[in-house]
């Protein structure tokens, strides 16, 4: 007989949910009232009626929609490219026997240990040489392939695609690209959805490299939010209003791929 979770388990889960949701609620609560509630001894817990006014001031202060479009282009392009190339490379490393595969895979994994900051100067020099400095290509192209994505998909496809199934498809006359498309891609869909979501979020939140590579007139959403903090006085109501607006695409993306995300987690947690 299966024992049901007790009060302690539900209490811990409830506390975890509240702790996770409260920062998002606070980001909405402050701009709904104003900057003054930050100095109140007992801040209000219910939203006010100033959020739309503060959101409109954000739109008037920085090129918010232009920055939002740039971030969508950059994050969408990077996430799609990483998923495609990582699934291809992961399938090759997991199921294809070719000379030097283990050495190449080790080299891919080793690159994850190299700090990104070490390559910023030569990378910026390369982008300037190509004439891409200040343009979105400088942010998109260096991130089209991810070593972590290759590692992630390879580890997933090792067990998700039986070698016997590949041999049967080859015996039926399928080319390797058809085997990849009709066998590996359907099996890799949960892991690919997780990888795409995490890559999109990482690219969306990236600040350092876009700050170096892009112009102020062509910012991503994080650079636009940073412009709200310029000067000696910071209006946190505006900053948090912009932050709340900037989380909407991430929330919508999570809703879209949430089913695949949960399926990937459960499939990785349950054996057999």
pLDDT tens digits, 115-152: 888 889 999 999 999 989 889 999 999 999 999 999 99
pLDDT of the residue at 166: 83
pLDDT of the residue at 264: 57
The total of other beta-carbon atoms located within 10 Å of residue 202's CB is 16
In this predicted model, what pLDDT tens digit does every residue of 188-226 receive, in sequence order? 888 888 899 899 999 999 999 999 999 888 899 999 988
pLDDT of the residue at 266: 58
pLDDT above 60 for 1: no
CA distance 212 to 245: 24
DSSP letter at 4? Answer: P
pLDDT of the residue at 269: 45
pLDDT band at 271 (very low <50, low <70, confident <90, very high): very low
pLDDT of the residue at 76: 93
Torsional class of 233: left (φ above 0), alpha (ψ -120 to 50), beta (otherwise): beta
3-7, 53-57, 158-162, 173-177: which is most confident: 53-57
Single pTM value for the model: 0.85
Choice between 86 and 272, residue whose per-residue pLDDT is larger:
86
pLDDT of the residue at 61: 87
50-269 domain in CATH 3.30.70.330? Answer: no
pLDDT of the residue at 19: 87
With CA atoms as reference, report the closest residue to 206 among 228, 221, 227: 221
Choice between 71 and 251, residue whose per-residue pLDDT is larger:
71
Q: Of all residues in the chain, what percent carry a pLDDT higher than 70?
A: 93
What is the residue extent of each domain of the chain?
Answer: 50-269
With CA atoms as reference, report the closest residue to 228 among 207, 248, 242: 242
pLDDT of the residue at 14: 87
Q: Residue 134's beta-bridge partner residues?
A: 214
For the record, the structure tokens of 90 come out as: 């992961």
């Amino acid at each position: 007989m299966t024992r049901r979770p007790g009060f302690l388990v539900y209490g811990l889960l409830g506390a975890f949910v509240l702790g996770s949701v409260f920062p998002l609620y606070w980001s909405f609560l402050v701009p709904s009232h104003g900057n003054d509630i930050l100095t109140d001894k007992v801040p209000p817990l219910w939203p006010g009626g100033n959020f739309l006014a503060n959101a409109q001031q954000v739109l008037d202060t920085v090129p918010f929609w232009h920055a939002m479009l740039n971030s969508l282009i950059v994050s969408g392009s990077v996430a799609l490219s990483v998923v495609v190339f990582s699934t291809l490379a992961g399938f090759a490393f997991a199921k294809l026997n070719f000379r030097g595969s283990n050495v190449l895979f080790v080299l891919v994994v080793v690159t994850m240990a190299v700090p990104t900051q070490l390559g910023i100067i030569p990378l910026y020099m390369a982008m300037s040489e190509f004439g891409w400095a200040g343009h979105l290509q400088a942010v998109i192209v260096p991130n089209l392939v991810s070593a972590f994505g290759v590692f992630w998909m390879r580890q997933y496809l090792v067990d998700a695609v039986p070698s016997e199934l590949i041999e049967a498809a080859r015996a039926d006359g399928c080319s390797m690209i058809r085997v990849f498309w009709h066998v590996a891609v359907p099996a890799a869909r949960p892991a690919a959805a997780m990888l795409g979501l995490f890559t999109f979020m990482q690219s969306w939140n990236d600040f350092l490299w876009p700050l170096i590579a892009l112009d102020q007139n062509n910012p991503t959403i994080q650079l636009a939010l940073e412009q709200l903090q310029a000067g000696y006085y910071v209006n946190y109501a505006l900053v948090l209003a912009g932050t709340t607006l900037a989380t909407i695409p991430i929330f919508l993306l999570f809703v879209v791929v949430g089913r695949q995300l949960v399926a990937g987690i459960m499939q990785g947690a349950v054996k057999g």
